């Protein structure tokens, strides 16, 4: 059963067998065995939020109920636990009707037939032409033939920095990856609790690492879809990334997004890599001291650089008996009113619809403008099963091993490439 391939990522074989025996998921196509929209009173939706106090989704669910009469039962699950909890729920037969996902979760769930194909629903959806055309690339299968989600929050990874710490150290913001390494020692002053870069070696730090490697010339796949990640370019960028570990705050090997945000806001870290979704919180805590720049690349020339992008998307589960209502909800979240609310929230990412992306409020937003500059040439983690395993399981232990000198840095690149190829 294909579902077992997903379960194996998160639980032992014995547990997988027990969960599968409880009853797996239906692989019915979109719309099959779905209650009529008028008969549905409620649906279940799972999501996460970087700022768990942000009420935007709660408010949007209330608006949706007012419009449709359908209650959205929300479950906010912290991102580090999200994928495992979703997989285990699907295996046990009690998954939600619709769910938030990111790019790294996508391929494994498609391969296991967990997600409902949405092309027929999209074709009938009035809002489809407002979606920025390039956003559709993030929600399709690896062959580009089938859409399994709707775009919701697009993001590019950015270099955040403390202007005051750079000024005090007398150094410029790095444009190249060699400059990034060169300024690390000058920005580090342990006596005053100042360090160059919070490397985020803990949960989900693989995205920040991959953003640095992609800007360094690494590619996941070639034009034929073959994995080519283990390259000289990837190894060289990875070596530079690992080399700044002596200039990171104590504990950074286990840090997640909360810690790196706090370290930049307090001045403990002079630089972090994150996305536009953290910009409002950082500015609220550190004000004008927060600056943003392109991810350092080989040449420092954005016209010669490819950047890493990703998508937080919404999907309908194949097991849902309320697919029509679930699609109505996730399409509501990709329409103008919801996109404005999401983009302006403390969890705001880049809008995925033209009606919001052209809003004048973004013209003077430095975080938005740097993101848009990177969008011009970007790739994402590929939607293949190996991506989920590589990012969720492989990266953490092998990267921490490299930082601690327990395995050579090149082993990180090799391990990720091998996982992308094999899916395990």
CA dist., res. 158 & res. 142, Å (int): 26
Q: What residue has token string 């909890």?
A: 85
317-343: pLDDT as tens digits: 999 999 999 999 999 999 999 999 998
Kindly tell me the burial class for residue 318, based on how many C-beta atoms sit within 10 Å of its own C-beta (0-12, 13-18, 19 or more): buried
138-171: pLDDT as tens digits: 999 999 999 999 999 999 999 999 999 999 999 9
CA dist., res. 380 & res. 211, Å (int): 9
Q: What is the DSSP letter of 223?
A: T
| DSSP reduced 3-state for 217 | coil
CA dist., res. 251 & res. 271, Å (int): 15
CA-to-CA separations, 152 to 135, 257, 288, in angstroms, rounded = 9, 20, 29
User: What pLDDT is attached to residue 79?
Assistant: 87
Letter string b/e over residues 24-46, b meaning 16 or more CB atoms within 10 A of that residue's CB: bbbbbebeeebeeeeebeebbbb
Query: Quick check: 19 pLDDT over 80?
Result: no
Query: Quick check: 308 pLDDT over 70?
Result: yes
Query: Quick check: 292 pLDDT over 60?
Result: yes
CA dist., res. 53 & res. 269, Å (int): 24
User: What pLDDT is attached to residue 261?
Assistant: 94
Domains of the chain, start order:
35-155+310-375 (3.40.190.10), 156-308+382-422 (3.40.190.10)
Q: What is the mean pLDDT of the chain?
A: 90
Confidence of residue 14 (pLDDT cuts 50, 70, 90): very low
Average of pLDDT values for 221-233? 96
Element (H, E) at 209: helix 206-215
Residues contacting 397, CB < 8 A, separation 6+: none
User: What pLDDT is attached to residue 15?
Assistant: 37
User: What pLDDT is attached to residue 34?
Assistant: 58
Q: Looking at mean pLDDT, say which of 180-184, 251-255, 375-379 comes out highest.
A: 180-184
Q: Which two tokens stand for residue 311?
A: 């998508």
| DSSP reduced 3-state for 394 | helix
Query: Quick check: 279 pLDDT over 60?
Result: yes
């Amino acid at each position: 059963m294909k579902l077992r391939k997903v379960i194996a990522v998160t639980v032992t074989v014995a547990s997988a067998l027990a969960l599968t025996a409880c009853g797996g998921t239906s692989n019915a196509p979109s719309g099959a065995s779905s209650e009529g929209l008028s008969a549905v009173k409620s649906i279940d939706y799972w999501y996460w939020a970087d700022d768990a106090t942000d009420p935007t989704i709660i408010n949007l669910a209330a608006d949706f109920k007012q419009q449709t009469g359908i209650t959205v039962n929300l479950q906010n699950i912290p991102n580090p636990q999200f994928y495992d909890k979703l997989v285990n729920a699907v295996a046990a037969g009690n998954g939600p009707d619709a769910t938030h996902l990111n790019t790294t979760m996508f391929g494994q769930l498609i391969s296991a037939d967990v997600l409902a194909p949405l092309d027929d629903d999209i074709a009938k959806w009035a809002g489809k032409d407002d979606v920025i055309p390039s956003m559709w690339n993030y929600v399709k299968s690896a062959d580009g033939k089938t859409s399994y989600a709707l775009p919701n929050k697009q993001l590019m990874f950015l270099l955040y920095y403390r202007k005051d710490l750079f000024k005090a150290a007398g150094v410029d913001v790095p444009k190249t990856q060699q400059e990034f390494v060169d300024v690390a020692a000058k920005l580090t002053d342990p006596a005053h609790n100042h360090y160059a870069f919070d490397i985020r070696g803990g949960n989900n730090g693989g995205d920040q690492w991959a953003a640095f490697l992609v800007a360094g010339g690494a590619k996941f796949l070639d034009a034929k879809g073959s994995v080519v990640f283990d390259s000289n370019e990837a190894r060289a960028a990875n070596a530079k990334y690992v080399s700044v570990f002596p200039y990171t705050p104590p504990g950074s090997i286990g840090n997640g997004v909360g810690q790196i945000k706090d370290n930049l806001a307090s001045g403990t870290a002079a630089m972090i890599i994150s996305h536009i979704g953290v910009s409002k919180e950082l500015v609220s805590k550190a004000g004008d001291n927060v600056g943003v720049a392109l991810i350092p690349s080989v040449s420092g020339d954005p016209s010669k650089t490819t950047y890493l992008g990703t998508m937080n998307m919404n999907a309908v589960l194949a097991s849902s008996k309320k697919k029509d209502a679930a699609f109505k909800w996730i399409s509501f979240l990709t329409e103008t009113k919801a996109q404005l609310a999401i983009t302006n929230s403390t969890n705001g990412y880049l809008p995925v619809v033209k009606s919001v992306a052209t809003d004048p409020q973004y013209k003077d937003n430095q975080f938005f403008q740097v993101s848009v500059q990177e969008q011009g040439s970007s790739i994402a983690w590929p939607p293949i099963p190996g991506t989920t395993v590589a990012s969720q399981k492989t990266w953490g232990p092998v990267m921490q091993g490299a930082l601690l000198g327990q395995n050579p840095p090149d082993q990180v690149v090799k391990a990720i490439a091998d996982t992308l190829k094999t899916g395990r």
